[in-house]
Amino acid sequence: MRKVCELGRSMVEMLGVLAIIGVLSVGGIAGYSKAMRKHKLNKFSDGFNQLLNEAIRLNPILESSISMSKSINESIFETLNLMPEGMTYKADYIYDIFNNQLNYYYGYHNEGRTLENYFSITLSTDGNRITQEKSEVCHMILLAAKENSENIETIQTRNIIGTSYTSTTLYGDKRCAQRPDLCLKSATIDDIDNICYSCLSEDSCRLFLYLSYKSFW
């Protein structure tokens, strides 16, 4: 009888140990996933900061050489060997470590009436709310823009509906005087949350970071 009881207790203890191991395994996997996401976000942040600073450095060079018949796109970073680690250029897009498509444009729009230089990235599509991953990417872009606010015109989300859109905007130092209450350099975490979570798309929602915008109307 004693041996049976001991055996029963041993089985219960073993099951308890297995249950603890299972919980620890689930916790370990969750912790690993969180650490990997943080690592990828840090890598994205480093890469985008490098990309942004290269674009800032190129801005005056392009401005002095661009003509109305030409435009510059993402391929310039590949051509000049300026592509950051963790980012790739293929099929006319820059892809980040999360496989998001980044666009870059420098050139004239509106039949030569505006000269624009910007990055853009799709944050949500088909009426979906922004995901946790896209929100974190959005935050990283805004923080990079804030660190370089003296070189930024505006950063905005655009909820695109057909051929029109609504936008939420923060202003870089170049335009901060227009809206002192919405200055990028003094943006808080709440301000960044508001602009990233303003992406409630009908067709799509994109984030635009303008390095320069000149109107000749």
Domain total of the chain:
1
The pLDDT of residue 75 is: 92
Distance, in Å, from the CA atom of 106 to the CA atom of 193, rounded to the nearest integer, reads: 28
pLDDT in tens, 147-190: 999 999 999 998 888 788 888 899 999 899 888 889 999 999 99
Reading the block at residue 150, the tokens are 């003296």
In a domain, 7, yes or no: no
Classify residue 24: in a domain, yes or no. Answer: no
Residue 192 lies in a domain: yes
Identify whether 183 is part of a domain.
yes
Query: Over the chain, what is the mean pLDDT?
Result: 83
**Residue 92 counted as domain residue:** yes
CA 46 to chain centroid, in Å, comes to 12
| 36/89 Cα distance (integer angstroms) | 23
User: For 20, phi and psi rounded to 5 degrees?
Assistant: -65, -45
* Percent of the chain surpassing pLDDT 70: 83
| Structural domain includes residue 106 | yes
pTM (2 d.p.): 0.79
For residue 50, give every residue at least 6 positions away whose Cβ sits within 8 Å of its Cβ, in sequence order, or none: 84
DSSP the chain: -HHHHHHHHHHHHHHHHHHHHHHHHHHHHHHHHHHHHHHHHHHHHHHHHHHHHHHHHHHHHHHHH--TT-EEETHHHHHTT-PPTT-EEETTEEE-TT--EEEEEEEEETTTTEEEEEEEEEEEETTPBPPHHHHHHHHHHHHHHHHTGGG-SEEEEEEEETTEEEEEEEE-TTTGGG-GGGBGGG--HHHHHHHHTT-B-SSEEEEEEEEEEEE--
Mean pLDDT along residues 67-76: 84
Range of the domain at 196: 42-215
* pLDDT band at residue 16 using 50, 70 and 90 as cut-offs: low
Asked whether residue 14 is domain-assigned, the answer is no
Does residue 134 lie in a domain region? yes
